[in-house]
Structure 1
C-alpha cells in the first residue's frame, strides 16, 4: 500500500505526526509512506525510519493557489497512491490528494472539505484531548475508534535516532568542550514572549549549572539570538566561556544532532521541546499560557512545570518585557530540582 501524508507546517506538529507514521507501519508493515511537507521538514523526516521519502511542498503556509495545487496533484497521480492522510484541517490542504485522484482520502472534518475527503471524520475534541491521539486515530477505521480510550496502548510516541559519531562531529564542528557535560536551553517560542521563561531565570540556572561543571548551549532561530545574548551578558565573566549561544547559527539538522548530545534540556513550549522529547533527552518543559493538556512533550523522561490551569490565548504578558506572570513564578530553583531528579551532577 502506498500512502501520501499531507503533513503539518510546524516543528512540534510534525514531530507529533510521527506517531501516525509509526502506527501505520505497525498496522501495515508493507506500507510505503511519503510525507508532503515544507522543505525545512526534511531533516526531521529523514530521521523517521517509517517515512519512505519527503515530498517538498513548494507553496508557502497560507497560500491557496488552486491551479498550482492541481498541477502538483496531477504530477503525484503517477505515483499510484492508494491512501492519503490530510493532517492540517484547512480546505487547501485537501486539494492535492483530491487532484491526485487518490482513492481513499482521510482526515478530520475541517473547513469545507466535503467531497475533497471521502473518509471524513467528525472530531469530538473531548474524546481525543491530545493532538497525538487525533493523529493516531486516523490510522484506524472510524467504526473502530470512537475515543482515545479505544486506541491501542501504549501509543507509539515519536522517536528520532542520532548516531554517536554524528554527535561527536557536531560537538567538534562548533568548538564545544567534549569533556564537559552539556545542558541545552531552548529559550525561544513562537507567538510572542508570553510563552517564554524569562531570560534572567535562564541566566541564573545557567550560572548554577556552570558552577557544577556543565556547559550550557542555547538553541533557537535567528530571532532568539538576542535573548541568548541577554543570558550570556548576565553570567559571571569567567563563566561565559562555558555558555554558547547557537541561536541562529545552526541549521535544523545540526540542532537535532546537538540536542541529542545534551545530557538534559530545559525548554519553553516550542518545536525544539518536541524534538528533545523525541530524542529521549531528559527534559524540563516550562509552560505558561499554552497548555500541556493538548500538546505535552511525549517522553517518559520529560517533566512539565506549570503553575496555572486552562488555556490562555495571550501573546504578550502584562509583566516587564511581555513575560507572563505564571512563567516568572517558576523559579530557577524549582527547575534545578527537576533537573537533579533527571540527571546526576558531573562526577557523581
Structure 2
C-alpha cells in the first residue's frame, strides 16, 4: 500500500485485541496508524472491558463497543455488529486481533480494504494479508503488532507504550484515597496478585501478604491491593493475612480508576497481567513476577520495570495450570528476592 492509497482512506476501522494487556501493547501500532493515515477518521472497535484503554487516546476519533454480552451476543451477534459497522461506510479495516471472526465481520460489513496477519485461516477474507512468520511470533508483542503495518509498507520503529488518563478518573482516584485516609504525600505501593489465563501465572497470596507487610514496616508504605470483580476473595484473603492495614481495591474500581491509581503509585508489584502493562505504559516503577509465561514476548515494555524470574527447565511452559502440580517456577521466587529487586529499582 503506497502513500496515495493511504491518503485515499478517509474512514478507517481498527479492530482492537480482546485483553487489556494486549491492548496496551498495541498502543504503539495505534499511534503509528494515526501517523501514517493522518487524513483518516479513525474508529476503534473494542470489547467493553478493553475500551477504557483507548477512551482518551489522541490517536482515536471514536470508539465502537463490541457489545459481546449485549446487542452483539450469540450466533447472530456478529451479523448485527457487521450491520452496525456497514452504516459507517469504512474504507479500510486493520485487524490487531488475530481471530477469523474479526475479518469475517469486516467482510460482512462491506469494508473494501481488510488488513491483518494471515492467521486463523482468514487469508481469503483479507485484501492485504501479512504473513505471520515464526520470527515475528518470537519478538516482543509491541513489535509484533507493528509488523502488521510493516507488511503494508508502513515502517515505524517507535515501540513506546502510551496511555492517556481521563481527568474524571484521576479525580475519582484522588477522592478514593482521601476517603481511605491516605496522606497525599504518602509513599504508595500497589500489589497486583491476580492474572487471567490460570493460576500458574500467579505468585502465592501469602507471599504478597508478607511483601506488603515488609513494604509497610520498612518503608512506611501505604499498600493498595488491585484486582477485578472476580478477585475480591483473593484480595480480601491477602488483606487478612497481612499483619498491618492495607487497602483492598479488588473489584471496587473501574479500569479507568485503577489506571489512575496505578499512576499515583510510587511502585507496583505484579504478576504477568493486563495491569502490569498498564503500569509499564504509565512509567510506574514496577517489578513483574514471571513463571509459566514468556518474558521475551510479554514483558513490561518500559525502562522503569524489572523482571523477577528464576529459570528452571520447564519454564516457560505457557500452561494455565502447572502440569507438574507444584509450580516450582513460582516457589523459587522469594519475598526477599522481590523486595530486593524493588529496592534496587527505586
Scaled by the length of structure 1, the TM-score of the pair is 0.86
Partners of 1:181 and 1:213 within 8 A in 2: yes
> Any gaps of 5 or more consecutive residues in structure 2?
1-9
Q: By how many angstroms is 1:172 displaced?
A: 2.2
Q: By how many angstroms is 1:303 displaced?
A: 0.6
Select the residue among 248, 263, 268 that pairs with 2:266: 263
Equivalent residue number for residue 7 of structure 2: none
Equivalent residue number for residue 99 of structure 1: 108
Q: Per-residue CA shift, 1:179-231, capped at 9, x if unaligned?
A: 32110000001122211111121112111111121110000013322222232
Equivalent residue number for residue 148 of structure 1: none
Q: By how many angstroms is 1:55 displaced?
A: 0.3
Select the residue among 281, 297, 300 that pairs with 2:300: 297
Q: By how many angstroms is 1:312 displaced?
A: 0.4
Instruction: Give the whole-Å Cα distance in 2 for the aligned partners of 1:119 and 1:250.
Output: 40
Q: By how many angstroms is 1:165 displaced?
A: 4.9
Q: By how many angstroms is 1:177 displaced?
A: 3.6
Equivalent residue number for residue 136 of structure 1: 146
> Would you say how many aligned residue pairs link Structure 1 and Structure 2?
330
Judged with a 3 Å threshold, the aligned counterparts in structure 2 of structure 1 residues 103 and 140 are, in CA distance, closer, same or farther, namely farther
Equivalent residue number for residue 99 of structure 2: 90
Partners of 1:3 and 1:81 within 8 A in 2: yes
Instruction: Give the whole-Å Cα distance in 1 for the aligned partners of 2:238 and 2:39.
Output: 49
**What SS class does the counterpart of residue 197 from structure 1 fall into?**
coil
Partners of 2:200 and 2:291 within 8 A in 1: yes
Instruction: Give the whole-Å Cα distance in 2 for the aligned partners of 1:334 and 1:73.
Output: 50
Equivalent residue number for residue 211 of structure 2: 205
Correspondences of 1:110-149 after superposition (within 5 Å): 110-128=119-137, 129-142=139-152, 144=153
Partners of 1:183 and 1:265 within 8 A in 2: yes
Select the residue among 243, 253, 263 that pairs with 1:250: 253
Judged with a 3 Å threshold, the aligned counterparts in structure 2 of structure 1 residues 314 and 127 are, in CA distance, closer, same or farther, namely closer
> Any gaps of 5 or more consecutive residues in structure 1?
146-150, 344-348
Q: Per-residue CA shift, 1:16-44, capped at 9, x if unaligned?
A: 12121111122233332211111222322
Select the residue among 29, 42, 46 that pairs with 2:51: 42
Q: Per-residue CA shift, 1:302-347, capped at 9, x if unaligned?
A: 111111265303333378xx6622112111122112212332xxxx
Q: By how many angstroms is 1:109 displaced?
A: 1.0
Judged with a 3 Å threshold, the aligned counterparts in structure 2 of structure 1 residues 174 and 29 are, in CA distance, closer, same or farther, namely farther
Partners of 2:24 and 2:281 within 8 A in 1: yes
Select the residue among 2, 10, 13 that pairs with 2:22: 13
Instruction: Give the whole-Å Cα distance in 2 for the aligned partners of 1:21 and 1:139.
Output: 10
Partners of 2:52 and 2:256 within 8 A in 1: yes
Partners of 2:165 and 2:259 within 8 A in 1: no
Equivalent residue number for residue 42 of structure 2: 33
**What SS class does the counterpart of residue 39 from structure 1 fall into?**
coil
Determine if the alignment matches structure 1 residue 314 to structure 2 residue 319: yes
